[in-house]
Amino acid sequence: MKAKFLALIILVGFVVISCKRDSSRKNDNDTKDITLGIEDIERDIQKVYIRFPSPEEMFTFIDSTGLQYDNSLLLPVSVYDKYLDSKSRALNLGTYIADLAYITLFQQYKETMDYFQVVYNMTENLRISPALNESLMNRIEKNVRNIDSLKVLSGIAFDDISDYLIRNDQEKTFVLISIGGFVESLYIAMNIIDEYQVGNETIQRVADQKLVFDNLIKYADAFKGDSDIQQVIGILKPVQDVFDQLHLEENDTRTGRDDKGQLVFSGGNRYIFSDSEFEELNQAVTEARKKITSTN
């Protein structure tokens, strides 16, 4: 009787261990079974998910042909190893990712490779380098003169990092990377605008960042119990204050079809900057960027 009971205990143990091994073994990109408790399952079935575009998506609309490339806007590659704690490493991995998106836009080949290397080094410092595999880095090297391929590959790199972090319960790090990337892309966008002009499409894209910012903060709020996230949300408060002041121009949204039969969403509300709000935001973003990229 005792022997059978013991066998049963061993069987239970085997079942539990097999579940855990299952989760650690299958860590590639396909659908995976992992062991979850009932509470984990309930937690994972969410009703609302918040998403926001990457820095690269923000830059896509910019027509670089009429603009001057300015590398003084970038965080120098030489400082990447001055970030010694995980918070500043994550934030500035985001900064470098946004810089890379800007460099790619202007087809600066040498700097593209330098910044990709720094992005990889930062993932190593954060101990998340398995997120970026060697074949991706090789593809980047081979396609360094093809802007469209580079855009796709840097998108894949960002996506691989986010998937890796989510899969490994490090979503908090993803929040910090996203905030660093958001601030840097806003900083660059504001600094490539020569002067405030009503109707300028880059200025409108900056005003549109209020929607991205709101989603980013809602997403970060889920981790506000974490002191690093709380501190970084504090750094963003002046930016939020300016965004909250923006005037909302209200228009009805219309749906229709164009002459090819494609669905079109037109009209709708949009946020508008005044000259002074634009300047206030510029100052708030510059200050936030200074705090984030500080090596002290």
Partner 1 sequence: MRYPLLIAFIISLNSFLKAQDCTGYHKYHCPYGDYSFYTSQQSTSALFRRGQTSEFNMVIYGDEDYYIAVCGHRKLGDLHFRLLEDNKERNVLYDNAQDDFSESIVFTNEVTRNIIVEVTVPESGSGKDKDLRCVGIVVQFRETGETEPKF
Buried b (16+ CB within 10 A) or exposed e, 185-224: bbbbbbebbeeeeeeeebbebbbebbebbeebbebbeebe
Comparing CA positions, the residue from 184, 155, 177 lying closest to residue 86 is 177
Contact (Cβ atoms closer than 8 angstroms) between residue 270 and residue 208: yes
Among 115, 116, 158, 243, binds partner 1 (CB under 8 A): 158
204 binds partner 1 (CB under 8 A): yes
Q: What's the min distance (Å) between Cβ of 72 and partner 1?
A: 27
Nearer to partner 1, 47 or 110 (CB): 47
- 269 is a contact residue toward partner 1 (CB under 8 A): yes
- Per DSSP, the three-state class of 271 is strand
The reply to whether 295 sits near partner 1 by the rule CB under 8 A is: no
Could you tell me the smallest distance in angstroms from the CB atom of residue 58 to partner 1? 8
Does residue number 255 form part of the binding site for partner 1 (CB under 8 A)? yes
What is the rounded distance in angstroms from the CA atom of residue 118 to the CA atom of residue 107? 17
Q: Which of 24, 47, 199, 296 binds partner 1 (CB under 8 A)?
A: 47
**Between the CA of residue 19 and those of 37, 69, 168, 173, what are the distances in Å?**
11, 53, 17, 27
Of 71-79, 113-121, 262-270, 275-283: span binding partner 1 (CB under 8 A): 262-270
Instruction: Determine contact, residues 153/136, Cβ cutoff 8 Å.
Output: yes
Using the rule CB under 8 A, is 44 a contact of partner 1?
Answer: yes
Helix crossing, 86-105 with 147-167: angle to 10°? 160
Minimum CB separation of residue 146 from partner 1 in Å reads 8
Cα dihedral sign, 102-105-109-112? positive
Q: Does 36 bind partner 1 (CB under 8 A)?
A: yes
**Site residues for partner 1, window 60-99 (CB under 8 A)?**
60-61
Piece of the chain touching partner 1 by CB under 8 A; list 77-85, 162-170, 189-197, 282-290? 162-170
Interface pick for partner 1 out of 24, 33, 72, 84 (rule CB under 8 A): 33
Residue length, the chain?
Answer: 296
Using the minimum distance from each CB to partner 1, give the nearer residue, 83 or 184.
Answer: 184
Which residue from 24, 68, 78, 253 is in contact with partner 1, where contact means CB under 8 A?
253
Return the half-sphere exposure (C-beta side, CA atoms, 13 A cut-off) of residue 120. Answer: 16
Give the residue with the Cβ less far from partner 1, 42 or 194: 42
Question: Binders of partner 1: how many residues, by CB under 8 A?
Answer: 70
- Is residue 55 within 8 A of residue 97, CB to CB? The reply is yes
Min dist CB 279 to partner 1, Å, is: 22
SS3 readout for 183-244: HHHHHHHHHCCCCCCCCCHHHHHHHHHHHHHHHHHHHHHCCCCCHHHHHHHHHCHHHHHHHH
Closer CB to partner 1, 149 or 240, in the complex: 149
Rounded to an integer, what distance in angstroms lies between the CA atom of residue 83 and that of residue 87? 9
For partner 1, the binding residues (CB under 8 A) are 4, 8, 11-12, 15, 18-19, 22-23, 29-38, 40-41, 44-54, 56-58, 60-61, 148-149, 151-152, 155, 158-159, 162-163, 166-167, 201, 204-205, 208, 211-212, 214-215, 218, 251, 253, 255, 258, 262-270
